[in-house]
């Protein structure tokens, strides 16, 4: 969470984008955040979570909260 806050990308997790945020920018942030989360996995976590391209960062985060 701290890394996402520092990068200004926390909106992909909390869903609280400013009203004037363009959809194209939201998609970029979503992809960036999903990548950051996935690249942060230890090998044992990677085995626990399957990640698909249709999954959102928020959904992945909720699954991680549920698991851990």
Q: Express each pLDDT in 9-61 by its tens digit.
A: 888 898 888 889 899 999 999 889 988 888 888 888 877 776 555 578 888 88
- The whole-model pTM stands at 0.75
Number of domains in the chain: 1
Residue 27: domain span = 2-67
pLDDT of the residue at 37: 87
pLDDT of the residue at 53: 59
pLDDT of the residue at 22: 93
Q: Buried b / exposed e across 33-67, counting CB within 10 Å, b at 16+?
A: bbeebeeeeeeeeeeeeeeeeeeebbebbeeeeee
């Amino acid at each position: 969470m701290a890394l996402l806050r520092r990068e200004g990308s926390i909106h992909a997790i909390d869903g609280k984008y400013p009203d004037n945020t363009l959809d194209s920018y939201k998609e970029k942030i979503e992809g960036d955040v999903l990548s950051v989360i996935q690249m942060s996995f230890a090998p044992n976590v990677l085995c626990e979570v399957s990640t698909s391209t249709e999954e959102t960062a928020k959904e992945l985060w909720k699954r991680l909260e549920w698991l851990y």
